[in-house]
Amino acid sequence: MAEQMQGIKRRIKSISSTERITNAMKLVSAAKLRRAKAVYEHSKFFLDRITDSMDETFDNAGSVPKEFLVGSREIKTTCYIIMTSSTGLCGSFNGNVIRYTENLVHESQHDAKLVTVGSKGREYFQRRDYEILITHDATADTVTYEETKDISVPLIEKYRAGEIDEIVLVYTSYVNTLKQEVITRRILPIDMSEHHQDGEQHHSHAVEYEPSAEGVFNYLVPKYFELRLYSAAIESATCEHAARRQAMENANDNASDMLTLLQVKYNRARQSQITDAIIEIVSGSEAQS
């Protein structure tokens, strides 16, 4: 009985330590989630401004470079930019993105090339011999705007050279604190009709572009690519922190439930030990009388 009680006490001590760790990680993830949401909203504002400028140039100019627009080429090779984390303990966050990407590749009739942001995705697809063009192992929330150029510039060059015909982002979109979902968003080629949402119509104005509308559009497309990539990285990081906070909260609740059960089990074992001791005392007293 004493050995059983000692075993229960060791388990209680171990689970109590785990509970303190998961609770601390939950609080850290909650703080990071708040910061990431603020950065995401800030980046989204600039992305909307760039998109509006592209729409205005497209609507007002007589001609823009067709190579960046939908329908300009046959899609033979698709490049998927995959956003995962570089750390674990975030529930099904990474698994959802990886499974979604695998389904896309298997269902697609085009050749697939990958760009990975986050080491979890890179490790998974490298083991399965996927063709990976660029890797970025740092966590998504540490990706700076300048670092997005290390990804966007080579991809735009490959797009222009015809090595890839389509560039698609695969990342986790933030719905709310409890819900995140994996989505795809095509960066190139651009479908300008998708930018006119909710039936909004852009009115043409007499605008003179320097050096030309084509030059302005060529300048805006890389900026649009960089901001789209940066915004997706920040949104993915926001979802990662939300998923980790939820996973740690669930782990913390499970640890609390286990501690309650173990404490009941310990109390019963202790009560049984006390009862046995009383029985021994009474039996000994009766034997002497």
- pLDDT per 10-residue tile (average), the chain, 289 residues: 77 86 86 82 74 68 70 88 89 92 90 92 92 86 80 91 92 87 91 59 56 73 85 88 88 88 85 81 73
Strands, DSSP E only, in 142-285? 166-176, 179-188
| DSSP code of residue 202 | P
Please tell me the distance from the alpha carbon of residue 194 to that of residue 68, in angstroms, as a whole number.
14
Which pTM was predicted?
0.80
User: What 3-state class would DSSP assign to 235?
Assistant: helix
94, two tokens: 């990474």
Nearest CA to 212 among 57, 88, 70? 57
**What pLDDT is attached to residue 7?**
84
Q: Spell out a b/e string for 173-187, using b for 16 or more CB atoms within 10 Å of the CB, else e.
A: bbeebeebebeeeeb
Cβ contacts of 25 within 8 Å, gap of 6 or more: 89, 244, 248
pLDDT at 211: 67
Token pair for 155: 């991809």
- CB 30: neighbour CB atoms within 10 A? 16
Q: Which residue has the tokens 């966590």?
A: 139
Residues facing residue 112 across a β-bridge:
78
Q: How far is residue 168's CA from residue 10's CA, in Å, rounded to a whole number? A: 51
CA–CA gap between residue 171 and residue 141 (Å, rounded)? 13
Q: What is the pLDDT of residue 271?
A: 84
Q: Which residues contact 261 (CB under 8 A, 6 or more apart)?
A: none
| Cβ atoms of 23 and 252 closer than 8 Å | yes
Tokens describing residue 143: 């990706």
For the chain, how big is the Rg over CA atoms in Å?
29
Would you state the pLDDT for residue 208?
63
Give pLDDT, residue 120.
Answer: 92
Give the pLDDT confidence score for residue 204 in this predicted structure. 52
| Gap between the Cα atoms of 131 and 149, Å rounded | 21
Residue 203: per-residue pLDDT: 47
